[in-house]
């Protein structure tokens, strides 16, 4: 029986199977009933608290997970220190002015 249960649970979340369709239909029905019974904002609060509980219980290294999420949402820039950037800009301007002076002569 344990093998049958494991196979059923795997099919519940495999997209395209009838078990998956039934699972998500039941989840959608529960959400709809929550919206009707307690309202939109309270339902969102309940869903948010469930997600926070799942995060606390399911993620082993929370700091690393949050760090990876933030880095995916806002990738770190490769900043050039201002002094080096300023020197590069001055060099490019100097070369550009020399080129224009050479072409005018």
Quick check: pTM over 0.75?
A: no
Q: Is the pLDDT of residue 83 over 70?
A: no
What's the CA angle centered on 78, arms 77 and 79, to 5 degrees?
100
Q: What is the DSSP letter of 105?
A: -
Q: How far apart are CA 53 and CA 45, in angstroms?
A: 12
Q: How far is 25 from 12, CA to CA, in rounded Å?
A: 11
pLDDT digits (tens, 9 = 90+) for 4-59: 888 888 888 888 888 888 888 999 999 999 999 999 999 999 999 998 988 888 88
């Amino acid at each position: 029986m344990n093998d049958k249960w494991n196979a059923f649970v795997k099919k519940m979340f495999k997209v395209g199977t009838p078990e998956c369709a039934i699972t998500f239909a039941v989840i959608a029905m529960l959400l709809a009933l929550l919206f009707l019974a307690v309202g939109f904002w309270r339902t969102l609060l309940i869903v948010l608290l469930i997600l926070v509980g799942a995060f606390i219980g399911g993620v082993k290294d929370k700091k690393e997970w949050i760090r990876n999420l933030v880095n995916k949402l806002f990738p770190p820039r490769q900043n050039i220190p201002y002094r080096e950037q300023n020197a590069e800009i001055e060099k490019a301007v100097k070369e550009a002015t020399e080129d224009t002076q050479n072409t005018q002569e």
